[in-house]
Structure 1
């Protein structure tokens, strides 16, 4: 059970970081409007925070 939670936490963290990195690369080469930038940054940070919360919640419960 702990292995599945850890894998899920790491995958959320990596997807969030990857999304933010891709956004930075794409916005460097092509002009994006603020709504698109904000949406992708918000989803990326949301995934990062979710991965931290999932890890802390399951550590305190188990």
Structure 2
């Protein structure tokens, strides 16, 4: 889907500056199965699982 890929590169400076005690993972929508936003959201929900704390940072490149 246009405009929702390459986010891992965008957040790399932030991720590399986090202390080791903070677990971080970039989930790119292009890595998920599904052709539409709903299917990709369901994929993200499965990856998050039952984590107690989740922070989302989203960037749409137009």
TM tier, shorter chain? 0.3 to 0.5
TM-score when normalising by structure 1: 0.35
Between 1 and 2, higher relative CO (CA 8 Å, sep ≥ 6) is seen in 1
* Structure that is richer in helix per residue: 1
**Larger Rg computed on CA atoms:** 1
TM-score when normalising by structure 2: 0.35
